[in-house]
Amino acid sequence: MAEFDVDLFVIGGGSGGVRAARIAANYGAKVMVAEEYRMGGTCVIRGCVPKKLFVIGSHVHQEIEDAAGFGWSIGQVSFDWATLVANKDKEIARLEGAYTTNVEKSGAKIVKTRAVLEDAHTIRLATGEKVTAKYILIATGGAPNHGPAVPGIEHVISSNEAFHLKELPKRIVIQGGGYIALEFAGIFAGFGSDVSVIYRGDNILRGFDEDVRKHVRAEMEKRGITIITGSTVTKVDKHGRDFTAHLSGGSSIAADQVMFAIGRHPNVKGLGLEAAGVAINPANGGIQVDGWSKTSVDNIYAVGDVTHRTNLTPVAIREGHAFADTVFGKRPVQVDHATIPTAVFSQPEVGTVGLTEQEARAQFAHVDIYKADFRPIKATMSGRDTRVLMKLVVDGASDRVLGCHIVGDAAAEITQAVAIAVKMKATKADFDATIALHPTASEELVTMRTPTARHVRQAAE
């Protein structure tokens, strides 16, 4: 008789957990996956996938406006929010089915229930059944954080509820200055809502390159989005179907919806971590792991947003795969968390990889900056007042490209390709030797010859 019921028990059916389960099963492990809600996790069900579908839909209005400059005369158009939501729901259901099928095809078993640790090798299911496992992987992801409870917090929605609103709000107040807040600001504005963004910091997109932050804010404000910084929502009143958001400065804004997008926290509550001896990282509230995704308990691992390391779906997938390779494939693999490309599907879009100018100047004595800020070719005919930003951060001593930052149409698509070069430690000379692909916006990346700024840190005497 086997010592354990399964070789691997995965708690969480999101991208990281599913990848780990499939790869481990392919190596011959007996695997069980517990998911209490829907297979696919944050990204597929209530994150990047439905959000990107909404972003794409919200662009159509701008495309219609721009069409006139190219000779198109488009008559009366209308938009139906309910149709968008219904079609999104169909696509998410299809993807959920695909996730489920792929796990089952690998030979792993799915149980649709909550799972809680009783000890380092025992999991109790909500059905009352107990399962023992040689290894346990926690991949429960994260959830929206509403922050300090303000009066009227019960009236506030998060990104979760934004995907299921019965109707499009005519006016919406969004608190937050990160990627989720700005993406939803662009979505609602694109569909015709009056949008106000409230952020406590001095400028949006904290942690991004300063030029990116300024550029995105200017472009969003051109599109009619109100951005109020240095302020917070202190109270939300409800009047029938309407709301009033009171701000810390004493002003207030009337709205049909108030949304908070002020960060996410790891889903660690009620998992039985204490009973199993799994430690929490005091610095970020996520499960503490080492470079192999191992927790403080030898046979228990954690990947993805629940660790609060780098909260991106492809990172969770890479971590889950590396875990399965290491533990069940006998091929030790560590994930390199450096130089991860990221995107913000705001409007305009942001793509970035590598170091910001500020980070580079802190780490390197000589930093060269190459920057282009220009009107894209489409705007010359559409008449739209918009500009693209391209920026390269270069180590002046070695000529290595340390970072690339793009704001404009298809920024994320361009950045994915550029990320390969940055990861391979390409030099500015390598970029310069690459012939431009004309006419594109991205050709600026290989035609910027003269630094716009040079920063040389003097050695201490």
Check: CB of residue 317 under 8 Å from CB of residue 19: yes
Instruction: Round to whole Å and give the CA distance between 171 and 256.
Output: 5
Instruction: Round to whole Å and give the CA distance between 338 and 270.
Output: 32
Instruction: Round to whole Å and give the CA distance between 93 and 216.
Output: 33
Instruction: Round to whole Å and give the CA distance between 18 and 449.
Output: 46
438 is catalytic: yes
Q: Which of 215, 337, 438, 455 is catalytic?
A: 438
Three-class secondary structure of residue 11 per DSSP: strand
Backbone CA torsion sign across 273, 275, 281, 282? positive
Longest Cα pair distance anywhere in the chain, in angstroms?
A: 76
Check: CB of residue 117 under 8 Å from CB of residue 271: yes
Check: CB of residue 216 under 8 Å from CB of residue 185: no
121's tokens: 């090798």
Instruction: Round to whole Å and give the CA distance between 430 and 399.
Output: 9
Three-class secondary structure of residue 55 per DSSP: helix
247's tokens: 């701000």
Rounded (10°) angle between helices 48-67 and 81-106 = 140
Q: What are the counts of helices (DSSP H) followed by strands (DSSP E) for the chain?
A: 14, 22
Closest CA to 393 of 365, 441, 361: 361
Instruction: Round to whole Å and give the CA distance between 12 and 140.
Output: 5
Active site residues: 438
